[in-house]
Every structure is written in C-alpha cells, then in structure tokens.
Amino acid sequence: MLRQLYESHCDLLMGVPVTGRYADDKPQLLFTAPYYVMTQVVVAPTVGGVASLEGLQGKLVGVQAMTLSDQLAYERGWNRKVYLKSEELFAALVSSEVDAVVVESVFAGPFLRKSPGFRGLAVRDPQRELPIGAVVRKTDAELKDAVDRALKTLRDKSVPDILSRYGIMLAQAAPPPASEPAPLSAQLRSARSTYLTQCSQCHGTDANGTPAAANLRAFKGTEDDFLRVVRNGRPGTAMTPWKGLIDDDDIRNIARYIKGL
C-alpha cells in the first residue's frame, strides 16, 4: 500500500496509524491529524456470556493472529485461540467454539451492529490505542494541510456519524479524542500532531499516561519547567532529550495543547 504512495500511483492513503513508532522510519511521508482512535473490544454473547474483563479468566478467547488484540490477550494471560481471518473468528464466536473474542474496534463495530445477541466490552489500554489518520508524500504539504482543514470541519458531526453508521462508536466506550469540542488554532493543531506522532506512544493518546510514562495532564511545573524537561530529557529513563529535534516554540505549544485537554 505504501509503495503505491511512494511511487505516485495514488496521492493519499487513509487508515494508517499516526504514531511515532509507525511514522519514524518514514521520513518521506507526512501524516495528518488522526480522525479516530482504534481500540480493542471484547465481544461476547449477551446471555450467559462474560460480563466483565475479569470474567475472561478460564474462558476460551478468540483472537486474530498478529493483531494488537492478539498481543493484549497474550499479555493478559487469557486462554486464547488464534484465527487467521476476522470472518473465521466471528464464525467461531457465533458457533460457540470460543466464549468471547477480542478484536479491534473497526471489526467489533460492524459485527455488533448486525448481531443483537452480542455485546462489546471496551478494553481501556492506552498503550494499544491507535490514532488513525491519513498520509501523503512529504512533497505534498499543501494536500496534508487541506486534509487537516477538511478533517477539522468534519470532526464534530460527520466523522462521529460515519463511525456510528459502522457501529464503531458503539464499540468504543468513550468518543475518540479527535472530537474535542473547541476547534484548535493552527499552532495547537500542529502541536497535537507532533504530540500524537512523537509523544503519545509513551504518554498516551490523551496524555493521561501509560504504564510506560507519566500522566502529562497532571504535570505540576510551569511551562518553562515543561520546556526544560522536554529539551533535556530525564537521564536514565526512556525520556530522551528533544533539544534540536523539536523547536522551543513547538514544545511550548505542546504544553499548551496538553493544558487545554
């Protein structure tokens, strides 16, 4: 898919992760702001099924191979059965071959919409929440800006409507952070995009922290303190210095963006 973009067979790809981990080794590309956040969802029968995540211990949980849900089930020590395709996975759920499945919200939503006998339990694992956006070639900065502008006007109503139509809102407990009520200024939008691509994999897509790093919304210092920590890093931790990589003004804008969350 990326090759089509690199070789100019298309100009824009939708549905790509906008995280540092994904973007870092793709310096020829520009990522837009995210338009939704993909999460993981446990789907189980409404009657007689598991009613909470704790209830999954000792049950057989279906997953699709190599997905974030698969990793999640593995790490939580759930007794998992691996399927190659999502259709096989849901077929196993419907035929009671497994007690529940864990899937990405994009698969859970459409299934829940057409399967009234099942319910979704949102898994809140910030480390696996994946902000999803679009990507263009680095030479197409104007296109990226235009997409960001379009996303901004679509964000409050059209995007949630579309996600509901596919059941994705149904599958997610909380609305994605891409739909903050107040429109952001150009600086704050750019700060958000830097935050999501460079910082969110450790500090969480909503800056609430992850097991890997602190909750930045609870940061007690001033903006100058924030700037100092980000410039110099925290020696001996995964917080590396960003001096020279992100401008001071941009770091200040990240601090303001987080403050506004």
For 81, how many CA atoms within 13 A lie in the half-sphere containing its CB? 19
Among residues 69, 198, 205, 253, the one that binds ligand HEC under rule CB under 6 A: 198
CB of 198 to ligand HEC, least distance (A): 4
Give the burial class of 147: count Cβ atoms within 10 A of its Cβ; 0-12 exposed, 13-18 middle, 19 or more buried.
Answer: buried
In angstroms, the Cα distances linking 209 to 14, 36, 181, 248, 261 are 27, 19, 22, 22, 13
Residue type, 207: A
Q: Is residue 237 close enough to count as binding ligand HEC by CB under 6 A?
A: yes
Q: Is residue 238 close enough to count as binding ligand HEC by CB under 6 A?
A: yes
d(CA 205, CA 21): 13
Cβ proximity of 191 and 250 under 8 Å:
yes
CB of 69 to ligand HEC, least distance (A): 23
Among residues 151, 242, 253, 257, the one that binds ligand HEC under rule CB under 6 A: 242
Q: Return all residues near 48 (Cβ < 8 A) that are at least 6 apart.
A: none
Q: Is residue 136 close enough to count as binding ligand HEC by CB under 6 A?
A: no
Q: Which stretch binds ligand HEC (CB under 6 A): 45-53, 82-90, 138-146, 213-221?
A: 213-221
Q: Is residue 239 close enough to count as binding ligand HEC by CB under 6 A?
A: yes
CB of 203 to ligand HEC, least distance (A): 6
Among residues 70, 216, 253, 257, the one that binds ligand HEC under rule CB under 6 A: 216
Start-to-end Cα distance in the chain = 34
Nearest CA to 130 among 179, 63, 176?
A: 176
d(CA 8, CA 64): 32
CB of 89 to ligand HEC, least distance (A): 32
Q: Is residue 193 close enough to count as binding ligand HEC by CB under 6 A?
A: no
Number of residues that bind ligand HEC (CB under 6 A): 20
* Residues near ligand HEC, by CB under 6 A: 198-199, 201-203, 212-214, 216, 219, 226, 229-230, 234, 237-239, 242, 246, 254
